[in-house]
Structure formats: C-alpha cells, structure tokens
Amino acid sequence: MTSIVTLDSKCVPSEDVVAREIEGELVIVPLTSGIGDMEDELYTLNDSGKAIWDRLDGKRSLSNIVNELIAEYDVDRNEIEVDVIGLVNELLKRKMLLLNE
Amino acid sequence: MSEYVRKETQLPKPIKSHIYQLDIELTERCNNNCIHCCINLPENDDISFHKEMTTDQIKEYLLQAASLGCMAVRFTGGEPLLRNDFEEIYIFTRKLGMKVLIFTNARLITKSFTELLVKIPPMIPIEITVYGMHQSSYEAITRSPGSFNQFWRGVDLLLEHKIPFIVKSAILPSNKKELIEFETWAKTLPGNNSNPGYAMFFDLRNRRDDETKNSLIKKLRITPDEGMEILSRDKENYLHTMKQFSQKFIGPVGDQLFACGAGQSLCIDAYGRFQPCMGLRDPELVHKLGTTLADSLVKFKQLKEIRATNPEYLSRCAHCFIKGLCEQCPAKSWAEYGTLDTPVEYLCEIAHTQAYYLGLLSSGEKGWLINPEEFQERIDRVVNG
C-alpha cells in the first residue's frame, strides 16, 4: 500500500467516529455515514493499535509517537515505524483519522 | 483488513460489556389506538405525559449505559417518535458510540428525520409494525383515521432515502386474509430477506390497568390451532427450525422462576423505572427513579434465585418437558393473574398444540406427566426423525 503519511505527519481522530474503551479494548464506532466499509459495523484495535491511537492527538508527529513507544516498550525502531505508518494509513483510508497539517 | 484493525459485526467475545443492550420505553402514549395493544395510552394523555422522563434523565441513563459498555439502545413505546426531543436523544445516543434500534409505526417519520438518519445512521434497521395492507384493514386495528396514509408516507420516505428497515405485523381478524399480500410486499423491500415476524398470541395489558381492553384482547386471540396453522405454513422450514430448537431448549426447568433472560439486559419504562424485562411491570420488581443502572443490574441478577411456590405451577410447569415451547413466564403470569407463578392456560394450550404437531406428545397427553427417560427418547426421535 502506498503511504499517504510520513513520520512528520500529525493526525487526529475524526469527529465522525466514536472511540470507546470497553474493558481495556478500544472499539471504534462510526457516527456518520461513509466511515469504514459498511455503516453497520464496528472496529476494534489490538493492543498495539490502541497504544498508537491513544497518542494520535493532532499535536504529536508520528515520529514523536514512535519515540514514545520505543521508550515504553522494548521494540525495534523499524518495526514500530512500520506499525505506526501502517495503522495510520489504514485509519486514514477508512476516514477514521484526519491529517492535521 | 490489517493486523491492527479488526472489523466486527457485533461486540467481539473477549470484550465482556456489563450490558449489551438497553431498552428504553420513551412513552406509553401512542398516536394509534390498537385494539390488541398491551401498553398504549392515548396520545394526549396529560397525566402520563407529565410523568414521563425528562430529556436530561434519559441522557443520564444513556451515559450510565455507555459506561457499562452498552453497545445498543432500543427505543420503543408507545410511539417513541411522539416525543419532541426524540432527535436530540437519538443524536446523543449515537454520539456515545451506541447503535440505535427504533420500534415505530412510521407515522411520524418526516423528511428532516430521514435526512438525519442518512447523516447519522442508526446502525440497526428500524422495525416497523404494519397493521394491514389496505386502509380498511389497517385502520380497523389502529382505530386512528388517516393513520394508513401517514404510515405509507413514512415508509416511502425511508425507501427514498435508502434507510434500512424491516417490517413485522400482528395477526388480527381484519388483516388475517392479507398475510400473503403482506409477505409478498415485504420481500420487495431491501433487507427484508426472511419472513416477517408476527405477533399473534397477544399479551394482556402489562399494567393490569384496563379490564375492558383485556376482554377485547382475549376475544382477539387466535386459537392454538389457528396459530399452529400459521406457524407451520412453511412446514419444512418450521420442522427444521423446531428440530434444532428441541435439541437445545426442550426439557423441564424446575422451580426456578426466572429461567429466561430477564435481568441480563435492562429496560427502563417511560417514567424512569428499571425493569428486568420489557413486559414485567410488577411494582414489587421494578426499581424506582434514582436507582443506578449498575445497582439494578446487580439486583436483577438475584432474580435467578427466586423459586416458584404456587403448587399448581410446581406440579405442572416445573416438571413440564415442553416448557421450552411455552411462553409462560413471570411477566405473562403477572399480566394475566397478578402473580408471578400461575400457569397461563392459553400459553399452555399453545405449547401443547405445538408439541402434538411435532410428535413430542400424543393428542391429550400433558407435558408434565411424561417421565424423564421417556421424554428424552421423544426428543431424540423428533430431532433425528
């Protein structure tokens, strides 16, 4: 998949979704039509996805987020960068995130 | 779908929300005056109107539900769209990340409401009760002049705006002959792929509030044989479904009174009282305004401990192996007799008629008189036959 973001990008959750934490899991519920593939489905993020989502505040760059995750978890930088870029691209494609340019 | 994001058609199993769905009866008032209805009050009933929950009270309960992990809210009534604040409540619910199911007669669906539903979809198809395919049959039930045309206008608006909805009906004398016409039409509607659901074994007034209406409801009830005829119209499908059902749910439940799902989810009546199920209005079992949803959930879980004491119930229902076919429950017992554990004869007859049809019982036999070895053999015969 071609990336539409770089490590300098900043992203913020769309106001057209509601993110709910239920018993430790993050569930993303589309609010308006046109979010996700179908209007009647929910999305959940795995633990890595949730750790990234929690930091997508429109202020931190993806690079900042990568650094924070490296500091918090014992993981390889390249691996984390791929994870962050991969998730952000996917959420942007589903209109669950917006680029905060 | 990547390794990070998972698409779910419903809440995934690992997430154990405390309640999956909350039912809120927004009003008991209705713009229809259906002859068979177990709850409706007149649209202009001032006493009921002034007792109803305020917008803020409803929002407070919705917030509590969301914090308990609730994923869906069903708004019912009465006619929920009678409330002037319905759109505000709807948007509030969706913004909390909960899906919405609306039970309506469609009469008050407007262009602006459908536009709202396009912008913010409910995420669950709306459910519409259709009382007849013609003005005469429809309004013979609703007893509300003009209701048929308003219903059609609402349906047309939903179709025009491609809002998902499913239709269901109630089988009554004036529309009984229109079943095929109704089902043929229903199949033309997007998303209505299976046969519509029907109400036909009508409940008495849930609040035991109107003896005249109860007398009428009793007269409108179809006989168990007529009901059987309707249930088994698609014989092959009925038998297939009932074989699967028998495998799982046939067998006596003993003296446990709430062997149903009551208390697993929560219902709030129009006046802010919590009920363990939508039908159970026994004042002894509802929790008053001001109780929290979490408190009520804990208390309702204790219902599972309640045992029947009525000797008739204990000698019949507690031992009856076809209890799974019977709609006998504390709510129906209370509506009929004002007690939680009195056998409801009408429901008993319906269950036995089905058991005779399925071959679980021979004509005239009673489900509570069959011993355990024998009933298991009969269930196996039906399931494997």
Q: What is the pLDDT of residue B14?
A: 44
The H or E element containing residue B237 is helix B235-249
Strands B72-76 and B41-42: unpaired
Q: Which residues of chain B have pLDDT under 50?
A: 1, 13-15
Selecting from B5, B16, B118 the residue whose C-beta is nearest the C-beta of A45 gives B5
Which chain A residues are closer than 8 Å to B95 by Cβ?
Answer: 18, 31
Structure tokens at A68: 């924070």
Architecture of the domain delimited by A11-93: Alpha-Beta Complex (3.90)
B99 residue type, one letter: K
Q: How far apart are CA A74 and CA A66, in angstroms?
A: 12
Three-state SS for B204?
coil
Q: What is the pLDDT of residue B3?
A: 62
Q: How many CB atoms lie within 10 A of CB B306?
A: 15
* Residue A55 to chain B, least CA–CA distance (Å): 15
Tell whether domain B21-236 is in CATH 3.20.20.70: yes
Contact B269, B281 (CB under 8 A): yes
- Per-residue pLDDT band at A23 (split at 50, 70, 90): confident
Locate the chain A residue with the closest alpha carbon to B20.
A22
Strands B198-199 and B165-170: parallel
Rounded to 5 degrees, φ, ψ at B198 are -130, 140
B302 Cα distance to chain centroid: 23
Locate the chain B residue with the closest alpha carbon to A44.
B6
Which ranges in B7-146 belong to alpha helices (H)? 46-51, 55-67, 86-95, 111-119, 135-142
Which chain A residues are closer than 8 Å to B17 by Cβ?
Answer: 22-23
- Asked if the Cβ–Cβ distance from B3 to A46 is below 8 Å, we say yes
Domain ranges of chain B: 21-236, 237-257+307-385
- Asked if the Cβ–Cβ distance from A42 to B17 is below 8 Å, we say no
Structure tokens at B316: 């019949």
* Residue A98 to chain B, least CA–CA distance (Å): 17
Contact A56, B4 (CB under 8 A): no
Which chain B residues are closer than 8 Å to A22 by Cβ?
Answer: 11, 15, 17, 69
pLDDT tens digits for range B100-159: 999 999 999 999 999 999 999 999 999 999 999 999 999 999 999 999 999 999 999 999
- Asked if the Cβ–Cβ distance from A86 to B8 is below 8 Å, we say no
- Asked if the Cβ–Cβ distance from B15 to A44 is below 8 Å, we say yes
**Which of B3, B4, B124 would best serve as a mutation to test chain A binding (most A beta carbons within 10 A)?**
B4
pTM of structure: 0.93
Q: How far apart are CA B138 and CA B149, in angstroms?
A: 10
Which ranges in chain A belong to alpha helices (H)? 47-53, 62-72, 77-93
Locate the chain A residue with the closest alpha carbon to B96.
A18
Q: Is the dihedral of CA B155, B156, B159, B160 positive or negative?
A: negative
* Residue A5 to chain B, least CA–CA distance (Å): 17
- Sequence-distant (≥ 6) Cβ neighbours of residue A39 within 8 angstroms: A30, A33, B121, B123
Contact B220, B172 (CB under 8 A): yes
pLDDT tens digits for range A24-74: 889 999 999 887 654 557 888 988 889 999 999 999 999 999 999 999 888
This complex has an ipTM of 0.90
